Amino acid sequence: MLWNLENTVEFTPAQFDLISTVLTIGYAAHFAGLAYFILTRKNVAPRYRSMTTMSVVVMLSAALLLLRLDISLGQAFDYDAAAGLYVLGDSTYNHGFRYFNWLIDVPLLLTQSLFVLNIAKPDVLGYRLKLGGAGALMVILGYVGQFYEVVDPLGALLFWGIAATVPFIYFTAIFWKLTGESLSYLPGEAKNTMKQIRYLFMFSWNLYIVAYIVPMLGDFGQSAEAAVTRTYLFTIADVLSKIIYGILLGKVATARSVAEGYEVDGYEHLAESN
Ligand code: RET
């Protein structure tokens, strides 16, 4: 798998530690998120619990993937004491693993939002298929593209990236429309949280695109620094788009649950303000 950027560069000990540390923070945060979503499950009425279940699945899949990436990094590189650098050994680092995780998480994150929105019953399945299908298509196209990040960054990597942008714009438009409509019917506190979710979504999902573009940035794009930079970008994007997003969706579900008369310890203030 020499096609990934990481496998074509040599890392100083500081760079290598940075990548490993950032991956570790990534999986530790998702394991913590896993505990959070399991423990706060009771804070939403039963009708919103499938949403929490989806967050739990997203956390577990992301945490295991990032753990696997960190292990794979450690196995792939050996420290060359003479050079003072980490160099590729007998195996390689497979950055493409991320896309397998996205294939699970992207459709889940997109369809998860439907649970806190008011959508006419007959339309729900259609939206699930559109959001989930477009999300999966985007990931597959991007996965094909990443094979070219070293050999043809301004050709094939760019081409498949643009192809992946088509379904991305499609599902983002649906997400933006549905969540925008919800601002007119969500109860007070939930409305503000939904506004935050909308901007968080826009920011964090676009960060993945920035990270994808990094190898296209000339000499820098093919350097060890670029590999460090994109690990940072992907990790920040992961924490925001999965953990923080899930927590905020949970807040909306809790506010709706309370507004609907479900009793949640410690959230009585929400019932009074609605
Ligand atoms: C790619 C390729 C370039 C074009 C576009 C992309 C978008 C990726 C996104 C990924 C989101 C991932 C999430 C993962 C959660 O586990 C594939 C980089 C548009 C938006 C949310």
> What does the pLDDT look like over 166-211, one tens digit per residue?
999 999 999 999 999 999 999 988 999 999 999 999 999 999 999 9
* 154 against 273, higher pLDDT: 154
The pLDDT of 15-28, averaged and rounded, is 98
- What is residue 1's predicted lDDT score, i.e. its pLDDT? 56
Domains of the chain: 5-259 (1.20.1070.10)
Ligand 1 atom 8, closest CA:
208
Ligand 1 atom with the shortest distance to the CA of 241:
21
68 vs 241: CA distance, rounded Å: 20
H or E element that contains 236:
helix 224-238
- Using a 6 Å cutoff on CB, does residue 214 contact ligand 1? no
- What is residue 273's predicted lDDT score, i.e. its pLDDT? 56
Residue partners of 67: CB distance under 8 A and separation at least 6: 27
- What is residue 267's predicted lDDT score, i.e. its pLDDT? 77
Q: How confident is the model at residue 265 (pLDDT cuts 50, 70, 90)?
A: confident
Give the three-class secondary structure for 142.
helix
Cα torsion 158, 160, 162, 164: sign: negative
- Using a 6 Å cutoff on CB, does residue 95 contact ligand 1? no
Ligand 1 atom 19, closest CA:
165
**For the chain, percent of residues with pLDDT exceeding 70:** 98
Look up residue 135 and give its amino acid.
Answer: G
- Using a 6 Å cutoff on CB, does residue 206 contact ligand 1? no
3-state DSSP of the chain: CCCCHHHHCCECHHHHHHHHHHHHHHHHHHHHHHHHHHHCHHHCCHHHHHHHHHHHHHHHHHHHHHHHHHHHHHHHEEEECCCCEEEECCCCCCCCHHHHHHHHHHHHHHHHHHHHCCCCHHHHHHHHHHHHHHHHHHHHHHHHHHCCCCCCHHHHHHHHHHHHHHHHHHHHHHHHHHHHHHCCCCCHHHHHHHHHHHHHHHHHHHHHHHHHHHHHCHHHHCCHHHHHHHHHHHHHHHHHHHHHHHHHHHHHHHHHHHHCCCCCCCCHHHHHHC
CA of 205 to the centre of ligand 1 (A): 6
Beta bridge partners of 159: none
- What is residue 17's predicted lDDT score, i.e. its pLDDT? 97
Model confidence at 271: pLDDT above 80: no
- What is residue 269's predicted lDDT score, i.e. its pLDDT? 74
Ligand 1 atom with the shortest distance to the CA of 206:
20
Beta bridge partners of 88: 77
CA of 139 to the centre of ligand 1 (A): 6
Mean model confidence pLDDT for the chain: 95
> What does the pLDDT look like over 31-88, one tens digit per residue?
999 999 999 999 999 999 999 999 999 999 999 999 999 999 999 999 999 999 999 9
- Using a 6 Å cutoff on CB, does residue 205 contact ligand 1? yes
Ligand 1 atom with the shortest distance to the CA of 161:
3
Of 160, 168, 233, the one to substitute when testing ligand 1's pocket (max ligand atoms within 8 A of C-beta) is 168
